[in-house]
Every structure is written in structure tokens, then in C-alpha cells.
């Protein structure tokens, strides 16, 4: 009964705590290796570069989107100016062909009964 109580209090390793049988801890005997200069530089620099990379990417993508939007707007304006010029050219050619302005041809068509 007394032996069981002592075994419960001390645990299974309590009887092995003599000088000859001690637990060996491997981390105490190993000396840490010095880090190389490259590894130290990368471990210092790379984590600091991540926010800079993200911010730079966001700025670049924003500027690229702005450039594309302005380029599209310029293209639309040039295309509408070209369409107006072509419409004016077509109207002038129709007027030369028939000898009457284009607006009067449409009014004659509306007066017909069929």
C-alpha cells in the first residue's frame, strides 16, 4: 500500500533519478550553428519586402487600369468623330447625286400613300 502511494506520487521515472540513469536532453549539448550571411540577409530582408511588393503591385495595376480607361475613351471620341465625318460625306454624296438635299427626300417619301 505504501509502495503504491509512492509510485503514484513520484511517477514511473522517479526511481530512475540516480546519477547513473538520468534523462538526456539533446538540446543542451548541441551548440547552435552560426547562420550564414546570406541566410541572415534573406531572413531580414524578405519579410520587409512583402508589404512593399503588395503596395507596388496595387499602384501598378491602378495606373494600368487608368491608362486603359483613358485610351478607350480617346478611341471612342476619335471613332465618333470619324463616324460623323463619314455621315457628312455620305450626305454630301447623296445630295450631289440627286441634286436635292437629303432632308427633302425623306419628306417626299412620307407624303406618298403606299
pLDDT at 23: 62
> Tens-digit pLDDT profile for the chain (114 aa)?
666 665 565 555 555 555 555 666 666 666 777 888 888 888 889 899 999 999 999 999 999 999 999 999 999 999 999 999 999 999 999 999 987 666 655 555 566 676
Q: What is the pTM of this model?
A: 0.49
HSE on the CB side for 109, CA within 13 Å? Answer: 5
pLDDT at 64: 98
Print the SS3 string covering the chain: CHHHHHHHHHCCCHHHCCCCCCCCCHHHHCCCCCCCHHHHHHHHHHHHHHHHHHHHHHHHHHHHHHHHHHHHHHHHHHHHHHHHHHHHHHHHHHHHHHCCCHHHHHHHHHHCCC
Amino acid at each position: 500500500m505504501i509502495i503504491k502511494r509512492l509510485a503514484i506520487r513520484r511517477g514511473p521515472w522517479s526511481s530512475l533519478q540516480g546519477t547513473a540513469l538520468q534523462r538526456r536532453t539533446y538540446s543542451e549539448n548541441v551548440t547552435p550553428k552560426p547562420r550564414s550571411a546570406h541566410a541572415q540577409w534573406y531572413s531580414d530582408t524578405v519579410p520587409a519586402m512583402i508589404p512593399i511588393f503588395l503596395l507596388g503591385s496595387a499602384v501598378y495595376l491602378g495606373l494600368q487600369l487608368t491608362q486603359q480607361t483613358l485610351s478607350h475613351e480617346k478611341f471612342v471620341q476619335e471613332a465618333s468623330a470619324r463616324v460623323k465625318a463619314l455621315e457628312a460625306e455620305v450626305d454630301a454624296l447623296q445630295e450631289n447625286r440627286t441634286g436635292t438635299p437629303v432632308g427633302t427626300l425623306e419628306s417626299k417619301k412620307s407624303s406618298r400613300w403606299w
